[in-house]
Amino acid sequence: MTTGKITLLSAGPGDLDLLTIKAAKALALADIVLLDDLANPGIVSLAPRARVIRVGKRGGCKSTPQAFIERLMQRYALKGLHVVRVKGGEALLFGRAGEELAALRRAGIPVDIVNGISSGFAAAASLGVSLTHREHCQGVTFITAHKQDHGEPDWSALAATGTTLVIYMGMTRIERLCTSLMSALPACTPAAVVQWAGTQAERRWLGTLDRLAIDATDAGLGSPAVILIGPAIGEAMQWVAQPAPIHQINQEPFDAQRAA
């Protein structure tokens, strides 16, 4: 029997208009869709011939084991089917794509990768800021607050890089994170939190590092959210406060309760 193939597909932050044409084509040809919790569930409308299997993985919640997901991909691909593994955001950024790629390559299964927009970029777009504004920094650092050994990054070292910090999965550790960062950054450093970035359920907070943990918690902001810290985020301070709403294109509502 001819071996099928796997497509690791990046579903972006939730707005289906942000999917690439390549993503839409892959979904249209899919036999099996393995759907991540953080992807807009409406994406399955683009895969009319596919069987949809939900394989959610959420920090702090009951999740589908990674090894089981890898076995599912191999099982269906070895039957000659086209399996589309749908991941929220960008598949190659904190999406455990490396583990899946390694397992599939060991099994001799062809893999395609379709890139997408990460929630970090969606958050920056919502705030209307450049993460690499040359008047404020020389780069951007994307970092997860959760290491594989359950430890934490060296926040002081990261702060010393002078880059804009875009922190994923940091809300459950926001107090320790802020305390560590303030050992190397001024308390007045601009900071923001954007929850459900790029969806109609989006919420955000904008202020300074010394108020980040307290105010974001008081506002009820939680996962999934992106934390952004650095002088470049200060560019949002004036115009985000204006009463006029920020224009966002959201053709199809994103059901946050269903994805939570």
The residues annotated as belonging to the active site are 36, 57, 169
- Report d(CA 227, CA 146) in Å as an integer: 14
Query: Please, how many CA atoms are within 13 Å of residue 106, restricted to the half-sphere of its CB?
Result: 9
HEC per residue, the chain: CCCCEEEEEECECCCHHHCCHHHHHHHHCCCEEEECCCCCHHHHHHCCCCEEEECCCCCCCCCCCHHHHHHHHHHHHCCCCEEEEEECECCCCCCCHHHHHHHHHHCCCCEEEECCCCHHHHHHHHHCCCCCCCCCCCCEEEEECCCCCCCCCCHHHHHCCCCEEEEECCHHHHHHHHHHHCCCCCCCCEEEEEECCCCCCCEEEEEEHHHHHHHHHHCCCCCCEEEEECHHHHHHHHHCCCCCCCCCCCCCCCCHHHHC
Q: Given the structure tokens 């802020």, which residue do they identify?
A: 178
- Report d(CA 163, CA 157) in Å as an integer: 11
